[in-house]
Amino acid sequence: MKAIVYEKYGSPDVLRLKEIEKPSPGDNEVLIRIRAATITPGDCELRTFKFSPLFWLPLRLAFGIFKPRIKILGQELAGEIESVGSNVKTLKKGDKVFCPTKLFGAYTQYVCLPCTHAIATKPSNMSFGEAAVVPTGGLNALYFLRKAKVKSGEKVLVNGAAGNIGAFAVQLAKYYGAEVTGVDSAAKLEALRMIGADHVIDYTKENFTKNGKKYDVIFDVTTKISFIGCLRSLNKNGRFVIATPALLDMILGLCFSVIGKKRVVTGLAPYKKEDLDFLKELIEKGKIKSVIDRRYSFENVAEGHRYVESGQKIGNVVIDVE
């Protein structure tokens, strides 16, 4: 089978199309024929290994000091189950599914995953490409908004709202009845209005932490805004959500969660099948949808990585594996 492999850290040029052995499912696994995958900033970060100095050494030890241990990127996918192990009862051959990977490994034609993994049947009103972009952004946005206990009538600001997690956070916050403000660059603001943002802010012209407005929840995906500024922009008992936390943010969040009245919500989102099923239900009811910017063929994944790294993408970038 074909896969996009990288055997050293670096630019998108390190990505190579290669023939590798097709996996076979174990007794408790399913073999998925991948129809679509995505290119996320996380894929690009691991490829280049441009991480915060605080994270650099432990991550390098985990993922490979001199060259990558995980040679196939890709964090989410949609496809069709080709075969199942002898103990698998919940899924069957021919099921159309979407799911996150266990860590990476979606840039390939086939992948084996445990049947207990967060695998759900594809929404009936979505293509494979539209479904592939849901797991990572949707599950993270859902987890953090639930953890922040967003309620109807509250004011929610999403910083980095046109990205994968941000776009789902805008839509889910609207589903929960919040008044939503989306923050991103000027070229992306119309897309935010189209997915339901009540207000938009161009961060290149206005710093939302200095405009005097207050919010019940600030949902930050970028980690490029002042921690203290965000806390000051919260109402009493407000919640500051850090959806992609650095180590320093986690430490500061713990301190302010204990000392102050305002909560800081952070951590790592678990991926659960019941949450993916919940997102599927919302999709089929027309409550949320995928935002896709561009699509690339399997052979042009490197070009897709260059585009994601440019910072111009709105929503998601899809790889059409077939």
**Each residue's pLDDT tens digit, 16-53:** 999 999 999 999 999 999 999 999 999 999 999 877 67
pLDDT at 227: 87
Tell the CATH superfamily of the 2-133+290-320 domain: Medium-chain alcohol dehydrogenases, catalytic domain (3.90.180.10)
Closest CA to 47 of 59, 58, 30: 59
Domain 136-265 -> CATH class: alpha beta
In the chain, residues under CATH classification 3.90.180.10 are: 2-133+290-320
With cut-offs at 50, 70 and 90, classify the pLDDT of residue 302: very high
Residues of the chain with CATH 3.40.50.720: 136-265
Phi, psi (rounded to 5 degrees) for 17: -80, 125
pLDDT at position 262, please? 83
pTM for the full model?
A: 0.93
Q: How confident is the model at residue 258 (pLDDT cuts 50, 70, 90)?
A: low
pLDDT band of residue 224 (cuts 50, 70, 90) is: confident
- The separation between the first and the last C-alpha atoms of the chain, rounded to the nearest angstrom, is 12
Considering only residues 118 and 250, tell me which one the structure prediction assigns the higher pLDDT.
Answer: 118
Average pLDDT over residues 234-254: 78
Which residues make Cβ contacts (< 8 Å) with residue 280, sequence separation at least 6?
Answer: 120, 121, 122, 123
pLDDT band at 180 (very low <50, low <70, confident <90, very high): very high
The reported pLDDT for the residue numbered 82 is 98
Averaged pLDDT of the chain: 93
HSE, side-chain direction, 13 A CA sphere, residue 69? 8
Separation CA 162–CA 188 (nearest Å): 6
For the chain, helix, strand, coil in percent to 5 are 35, 25, 40
